[in-house]
Amino acid sequence: AETIEKVRRLLAEFLARASADETLRAAAGGKDVTLHFTLPEVGLDFYLRLRDGRLGGALGAPDGDADVELRMRAEVLDGMFTGTLNPMQAATTGRIGFTGDTMKAMTLQQIQDDLSRVYRAARAAVGDPGDLAAIPEPGGTAHAAPRPVAPDDVRTEILAVVKELYASQLITATGGNVSARIPGTDELWITPSQSFKGELTPEMLVRIDLNGRPLDPGALPPSSERLMHCAVYKARPEVQAVIHAHAPHATMLVNAGLPFLPVSTEAAFFGDIPRVPFIMPGTQELADAIEEAMRNSWAVLMQNHGLLVAGRSLRRAADMVEVIDRSAQVILGCHQVGKTPSVLPPDVIEMLQKMGDMMA
């Protein structure tokens, strides 16, 4: 209790100094970003808000939704601002849980040095908070999923699909993500951020709501791409699964500006797959673009980013990822040898495209 009170006093001093710091105020010019920090084991949270040349902050949650939610132990926050811990390494190993707009989250990196300067001054004024590593986790071990995994749990199916896509090189070690709706709910299981896809376990998957918010304390941080997953589920209630693949041939096709063609009966189901230009991953802007593109399609090609596919089941979604990438491979192969890809007869294409919804 004494250590936790010291942390509270340190944070209050830090926030007061940050709000009055002229350099941080200058950094807030032209920005509108709210950062919400949660320290679960000490039961404290605080926010920083940069808006039009003003920086404000206080203990507790901000009024309204934050652009960026950061969850970490007090020892991680202390290490991040004293320079004894690398925040990027902490984020990639799950010690910092991040949700929100990726572009706005970069604001923290931009003002990191000045926040550290102010924090160190506050720490010198208040005193060393003590052994923060000794504070136990609330309610048990961190990163433990709250529910047992039954044989028919959708997480088992997600893992099977992830392993299949990873073996087919349609997702990479940490690139690509898979989600599925929890049957009968508006909640999802999604793969965690920056975790090796070849060794995921059901307990590592993260339960989120349709706004992308994690629902279980102590869970791993969810995929940074969850906003576009959630956008699809909200726009298309019939969708039960979403897969973002770093499919190599589909990505080459969209990067080269080549059309997706009905080079087989399977490819013809999709018609002309919509495309979105490069938009920074993890942003609301990308999620909005994906939502618009997917209103009348089960797939979208993302320039310099890959492929997103939705389905009425995980099995269908995974099958469509493979069909699209293999079709793109055929199209690229024809161009590579200087030939125009041959396509199906027009009457067959028309018939199959009318049946395209069945593919999902």
Residue 314 corresponds to which tokens in the numbers above?
A: 């995980």
CA atoms of 221 and 122, how far apart (whole Å)? 29
Calpha distance 44→4 (Å, rounded): 9
What is the token pair recorded at 228?
């576009």
Continuous H helices in the chain: 2-20, 22-27, 74-82, 87-92, 102-110, 112-126, 154-167, 226-235, 248-255, 265-268, 284-293, 314-336, 346-354
| Non-local CB neighbours of 223 within 8 Å, separated by 6+ positions | 177, 179, 190, 191, 192, 193, 206, 229
Contact 189, 158 (CB under 8 A): yes
> Which residues, listed in sequence order, are joined to residue 34 by a DSSP beta bridge?
49
Sequence-distant (≥ 6) Cβ neighbours of residue 120 within 8 angstroms: 81, 82
Gyration radius of the chain's alpha carbons? 23
225 is catalytic: yes
| Candidate list 199, 225, 238, 266, residue with the active-site label | 225
Tokens of 227: 């906003």
Put residue 47 in one of left, alpha, beta given phi > 0 → left and psi -120 to 50 → alpha: beta
The CA distance from 308 to 347, in Å, is: 28
Report the SS3 class of residue 181. strand
Candidates 250, 307, 305; CA nearest to 281 is 305
Closest CA to 42 of 75, 20, 85, 15: 75
Take residue 224 and report the two structure tokens written for it: 């940074």
Residues marked active site are found at: 225
